[in-house]
A and B are shown apart, each in its own frame.
Chain A
Amino acid sequence: MLDDEGDNRRDFLKCMAWAGTGALFAFNGGVGSSIGLDAALAAPARRSRAASFTFLQISDSHIGFNKPPNADALATFREAVAKVKALREQPDFIIHTGDVSQLSRDDQFDDADQILKEAGLPVFFIPGEHDMLDPEGGKAFLNRFGKGSQGAGWYSFDHKGVHFVALVNVADLKPGGMGNLGTAQLQWLRADLAGRPSSTPIVVFAHIPLWTVYADWGWGTDDSAEALKLLTRFGSVTVLNGHIHQITQKVEGHVAFHTARSTAFPQPVPGTAPSPGPLKVVPEQLPGMLGITSASFVRGRERIALIDSTLGA
C-alpha cells in the first residue's frame, strides 16, 4: 500500500480535505505509514508486501456524555464504528486510547463494548481518567477491558513484527501534577523492551500525551521522559495518545508523536479558552469542527504517516 509515490501524494492531499473519527495506520514491511479512512474506502485493496497491515485508533468516546456540543456521544461513537466497518480494507485491530466512558459506569462501558463488537475486530484498550471513577479506582474498567494486563492496566503485544506497548498514565495522579506512569510501570517497560533489537518498530499508546502539549491544562505526563529514554535506541517509534480531543503532532528524532480526535466532543486549542472544557459549537458545526485534518507523513527509512478523518466526511 502507498507504494506509488504520486498516488500516495494525491490520496494524502485528498485526505486533507476531510477529517476524523479515527486514524488508519499502515505498516509496510515493518515501516509504518498510514492512509485516511476515506482514501482507504475509495482505493482498491492492494498489498504490495506480505507483512503490511493496518490498524485503527479510536479515542475519547466518553459514552454517557450528553451536554453541548453533543447530546448523544453514543450516536457519534456508533457512526465512528460504522465508518470502520465500511472500510474496504479492514484493519487488523482497533486500539481505544481511553476515556471510553464519561463516568466509569457499567452501563456506559457496556454500551461502548456492544458498539465496538459490531466492528467484528479485536480491540485493545487503555483507560483514560474518566475510566477510573468507580469506587475501586479503575477495577470496573480492568475487569471488562483489561484482562491479562498488569498493574493499572499496562501490557504489550507483537503484531507482524511491530511491538505494541500500552501504557497507563491516569492512575495515582499527584496533586499539582499531570499524567503519571509511576516507578512500577517504568520498571516493567524497561524489562519489556530489554533484548529487543533496535530495528523493531515500536508503537506506544497511552491516554494523556507522553509529551507536554500544554502544562497549564495538565496536558502532559510528568515522568514521560524516563519512558522515552528507554525508547531512544529504536529506529522507529510512534506514540499515539488521546485526551486532548484534537490533533497535535511532533517528531523528535525517531519518535513521532500524535494525538487523535475524540468521537464525542472537541476541546479548545491550548490557551484559546479559559479552560479545557468542551468546545460548545452548534450541532451543525460539530462534524466540521472535527474535520480539521492534519497528518504526519515522515518519509525515509522510518516512514510513518498518520492521517485522520471525521464523521463529517
Chain B
Amino acid sequence: MTRAFKILTFQASAIAATALMMGVVADMARAAPAAAPAAVTIGNFTFNSPTLTVKPGTTVTWTNADDIPHTVVSKDGVFKSKVLDTGERFSFTFAKTGQFGYYCSLHPHMTGTVTVKA
C-alpha cells in the first residue's frame, strides 16, 4: 500500500510539474508567439529568401556566404549591419509589425523585405 501510494504521489507530482511546465511554455508563447529564429543566407549577390514573413519578436539572422562582403541595411533606418565579410552574420529582432525593406549598401541592386505580422 505504501509503495502504491508513493507511486501515485510521484505520478501526481509529475502531472503537476508537467502542467506547470506547460503553463510556463504557454506564458512564453504569449510573450513572443512562435518566435522561432529565421535565417537569410546571402549568396550569389542575392538575399535568400528575398521575402520573409515572421511573427513579432522573431530574430532574423543574415549570413554572408559570398566571397565578397555585403551589408544588410534597412531602407528606413531601422537596422544597419556593419560590413559582413565571408561567413559573418548580422541579427535583428523584429519587435513590431510592419514591412521592413532592406538592401546591401555596397550592391544596392540586392534588396529584400521582412514582413512582420502577428
Residues of A within 8 A of B (CB): 67-68, 102-104, 129-130, 132-133, 135, 173-178, 215-218, 274-278
Contact = CB atoms under 8 A, between A and B. Distances in A.
Contacts of B102: 175
B68 interface: yes
A176 B67 contact: no
Nearest to B86: A67
Given A175-B102, A177-B109, A216-B109, 15 more contacts: A67-B86, A103-B69, A103-B85, A129-B107, A130-B69, A132-B106, A133-B69, A135-B82, A173-B105, A176-B103, A178-B108, A217-B45, A275-B43, A277-B44, A277-B67
A83 B111 CA distance: 40
Nearest to A134: B83
B106 A274 contact: no
A276 B107 CA distance: 11
Contacts of A67: 67, 86
Given A133-B106, A275-B46, A175 B101 contact: yes
Given A130-B69, A130-B106, A176 B111 contact: yes
Interface SS of chain B: helix, strand, loop or mixed?
loop
A8 to B, nearest CB: 40
Contacts, number: 57
29 contacts: A67-B67, A68-B67, A103-B69, A129-B107, A130-B69, A130-B106, A133-B106, A135-B82, A173-B105, A173-B106, A175-B101, A175-B108, A176-B108, A176-B111, A178-B108, A178-B109, A215-B109, A217-B45, A217-B109, A218-B108, A218-B109, A275-B43, A275-B44, A275-B46, A275-B66, A276-B45, A277-B44, A277-B68, A278-B68
Contacts of A176: 103, 108-109, 111
Interface in B14-54: 43-46
Interface residues of B, number: 23
Interface of B: 43-46, 66-69, 71, 75, 82-83, 85-86, 101-103, 105-109, 111
Nearest to B101: A175
Nearest to A129: B106
A133 B103 CA distance: 15
Contacts of B103: 175-176
Contacts of A132: 106
For the complex of A and B, 5 pairs with smallest distance between CB atoms = A275-B44, A218-B109, A175-B103, A275-B45, A173-B108
A209 to B, nearest CB: 14
Contacts of B46: 275
A68 B66 CA distance: 12
A278 B66 CA distance: 10
Nearest to B110: A218
A175 to B, nearest CB: 4
A40 to B, nearest CB: 33
A68 B83 CA distance: 20
Contacts of A277: 44-45, 66-68
A217 to B, nearest CB: 7
Contacts of A218: 107-109
Contacts of A274: 44
A68 B67 CA distance: 9
A82 to B, nearest CB: 26
A275 B44 CA distance: 5
